[in-house]
Amino acid sequence: MNIKITFPDGKIQEYASGVTPAEIAAQIGPGLARAALAASLDGQLVDMNAPLKSDGALRFVTFQDPEGKDIYRHSSSHIMAQAIRRIWPEAALAIGPAIADGFYYDIALPQPISTEDLPRIEEEMERIVREDLPFSRVEVPREEALEIFRKQGNKFKEEIISELPVDATVSLYRQGEFVDLCRGPHIPSTKYLKAFKLTAVAGAYWRGDEKRDMLTRIYGTSFSDKKDLKEHLQLLEEARKRDHRKLGKELGLFTFHQEGPGFPFFHPRGVVLYNTLTGFCREELQKRNYREVRTPIILHEQLWHQSGHWDHYKENMYFTTIDERQFAVKPMNCPGGLLIYKSTHHSYREFPIRVGEFGLVHRHEKSGVLHGLFRVRAFTQDDAHVFCLPEQLEDEIRGLVDLILYFYKVFGFEDVHIELSTRPEKSIGTDEVWEKATSALQNTLEHMNIVYKLNPGDGAFYGPKIDFHIRDCLKRTWQCATIQVDFSMPERFDLTYVGADGQEHRPVMVHRAVFGSLERFMGILIEHYAGNFPLWLAPVQVMVLPIGGEQEAWALELIAMLRAAGIRAEIDLSSEKIGRKIRDAEIQKIPCMLVIGQREADGHSAAIRRHGAGDQGVKAAEELIRDLLAEIAEKRLHP
């Protein structure tokens, strides 16, 4: 019996039932046979040696495909796990997924290990790669799978399997003597792993639960080409140098303290950066007819039941009791904005109503996931809630997309990836309103000719959303901005306006954030710029450096002129030699240094140095202030 296989170019070919993707790839050409890691049959990923027994659309998956990278790196984690079991046979494996640019495996080891042990594991992995062990899928009954891992003494796999239905069939993957619980698919054999590196050792709780076993998490990365691996490792090294936690402390921006784990303490220069970001945002929002509000941090528990957060977000919230009544610390700003809307009557003539808030929110994060400013327990959201008429919805979404892309361009993020996320499994609202909301987002993106990726099931519980992912100079992506269309909250809170017909109608609510979290965005900027902020953003824009005491009078006069012009300037009046003063200013990454010698003092001028670029010549005070103000006003990324 033959089956019909349809290829991506539309060509249809007949093959004998049971043919494998590997056999088809070999017939097409040796290049494809070497590159293909897995295949997709009617959208379902399968191994290259899986027998095909029915008609279908076939696509080969290589390392160039996102799914290919995941398969390759997940297979890398299996090879690493096999190497670890060879070195420490009593090791118990937990989970080992692929992650962005790499993989990890959580393991209960018989002894503590450190990064010094990683080369030993890598050597064993190299040996496994040379052995060219095929990955083979085996399906067994649930009880048989349980018995396999009982014999290994692996309580973690037993727990996972025990949660499956009694009559479930469990898929296992073998390579040589090694067997692991896995859905697959995997690369054809271990020899396909061309370039890899183990990068770190950390601790992780089993299933993220602080009350469960503490496991050893071993991180690694892998690529299909050694050149790509080398480039990636160089980027990782650069990322370590740019670590915002290290730079934040060195530049006097922020610190963390054990008295408030997960709660950042901003120092004066950090507050300047924070205020510069919010000031820029306020200025742009005023141009677009936003009005700013401020809502309480603590609100009654009943409000969170009404909004739906209680059912969908309770585990991330903090609670308190006031006058024997239960209150919650807000994890989001939306309900407060809804109460403000409800406090007055509205006419259709007022719309759209654009309301912004820099709202401090608190979310309970487990200690194991806290990470500098990237993952904190208290942060400021640059929230906005746009209330509009249904017929205004797509125009408002278009305006928000333009606003977000403009903001990112100002900061130098030109590479922006957009995802449209649809209704999740846990949600509120009817099918009809979800369809209307999703169509509005989709139509707007398509009318704007914006390329986007569909992300099914990842919307907010109250509405679909567009997420914006920016790529930094180290090729890392960060999800920051979001636009969410919400028909459900206006219904739950009974929001109304009087239409042209004199009757009450429901407005549409659009949730929007550009930075997302101010704290997180600051962390991204610190690492993107390596602390070398453009002049308009720098907490200290100018450092005045008199060479000696004879020049101090002019230096003090100059700094007064700079500050009067609105330029953030400081002065170094220490007795250090000028070389040391310049070095200190460079270490602080001050964008502009003004060196004052006797000639400059006599001529009411300054010798200009730019951070990392050296001498820029001498200018009269009025001219250099004019030039600096122009650079700041234009928000130039470079002098």
Please name which of 26, 180, 190, 187 lies closest in space to residue 91, comparing C-alpha atoms.
180
Q: Is 375 a catalytic residue?
A: no
Q: Which whole number is the average pLDDT over 459-464?
A: 89
Please name which of 546, 635, 547 lies closest in space to residue 591, comparing C-alpha atoms.
635
Catalytic residue among 217, 385, 512, 528: 385
Is pLDDT at 32 greater than 80 in this prediction?
yes
Task: Give pLDDT, residue 382.
Answer: 95
Catalytic residue among 78, 244, 363, 375: 363
Q: Which whole number is the average pLDDT over 497-515?
A: 96
Taking the C-alpha atoms of 227, 196, 529 and 466 in order, what is their torsion angle to the nearest 10 degrees?
110
Mean pLDDT across the chain: 94
- Confidence label for 128 from pLDDT (cuts 50, 70 and 90): very high
- Confidence label for 17 from pLDDT (cuts 50, 70 and 90): very high
The per-residue pLDDT for range 224-280, each reduced to its tens digit, is 999 999 999 999 999 999 999 999 999 999 999 999 999 999 999 999 999 999 999
Q: Which whole number is the average pLDDT over 582-608?
A: 96
Please name which of 387, 291, 298 lies closest in space to residue 348, comparing C-alpha atoms.
387
In angstroms, the CA 125 to CA 131 distance is 10
In angstroms, the CA 460 to CA 87 distance is 45
Burial 91-108 (b: 16+ CB within 10 A, else e): bbbbbbebeebbbbbbbb
Task: Give pLDDT, residue 109.
Answer: 93
Tell how strand 214-223 and strand 195-205 pair up: antiparallel
Q: Which whole number is the average pLDDT over 183-187?
A: 95
Task: Give pLDDT, residue 94.
Answer: 96
Catalytic residue among 70, 117, 383, 467: 383
Task: Give pLDDT, residue 547.
Answer: 96
In angstroms, the CA 518 to CA 272 distance is 13
Catalytic residue among 381, 392, 541, 588: 381
Is pLDDT at 389 greater than 90 in this prediction?
yes
Q: Which whole number is the average pLDDT over 489-515?
A: 95
> Could you tell me the two tokens for 577?
């030699």
- Confidence label for 426 from pLDDT (cuts 50, 70 and 90): confident
> Could you tell me the two tokens for 590?
């001050």
118-130 vs 66-87: helix crossing angle, rounded to 10:
110
- SS3 state at 183: coil
For the chain, how many residues are written? 639
- Confidence label for 307 from pLDDT (cuts 50, 70 and 90): confident
> Could you tell me the two tokens for 316?
């991330």
- Confidence label for 403 from pLDDT (cuts 50, 70 and 90): very high
Q: Is 345 a catalytic residue?
A: no
Task: Give pLDDT, residue 586.
Answer: 96
In angstroms, the CA 513 to CA 528 distance is 20
- Confidence label for 309 from pLDDT (cuts 50, 70 and 90): confident
Task: Give pLDDT, residue 504.
Answer: 96
The per-residue pLDDT for range 545-567, each reduced to its tens digit, is 999 999 999 999 999 999 999 99
Q: Which whole number is the average pLDDT over 396-420?
A: 96
Is pLDDT at 499 greater than 80 in this prediction?
yes
Is pLDDT at 368 greater than 80 in this prediction?
no
Residue type, 104: Y
Catalytic residue among 59, 157, 362, 511: 511
In angstroms, the CA 142 to CA 153 distance is 17
What is the CB-side half-sphere exposure of residue 545 using CA atoms within 13 A?
22
**In Å, how far from its chain's centre is CA 508?**
28
Q: Which whole number is the average pLDDT over 4-27?
A: 94
Cβ burial of 135 (10 Å; 0-12, 13-18, 19+) is: buried
- Confidence label for 160 from pLDDT (cuts 50, 70 and 90): very high
Task: Give pLDDT, residue 197.
Answer: 97
Q: Is 281 a catalytic residue?
A: no
Task: Give pLDDT, residue 313.
Answer: 81
In angstroms, the CA 316 to CA 312 distance is 9
In angstroms, the CA 561 to CA 629 distance is 12
The per-residue pLDDT for range 572-581, each reduced to its tens digit, is 999 999 999 9
Is pLDDT at 311 greater than 90 in this prediction?
no
Q: Is 592 a catalytic residue?
A: no
Q: Which whole number is the average pLDDT over 5-16?
A: 93
Sheet holding 290-292: strands in order across?
290-292, 353-362, 378-388, 508-517, 477-486, 465-471, 416-421, 453-455
552-564 vs 621-633: helix crossing angle, rounded to 10:
30
Tell how strand 542-546 and strand 592-596 pair up: parallel
Task: Give pLDDT, residue 559.
Answer: 96
Q: Is 383 a catalytic residue?
A: yes
Task: Give pLDDT, residue 428.
Answer: 84
Q: Is 541 a catalytic residue?
A: no
DSSP state of 135: P
Task: Give pLDDT, residue 210.
Answer: 80
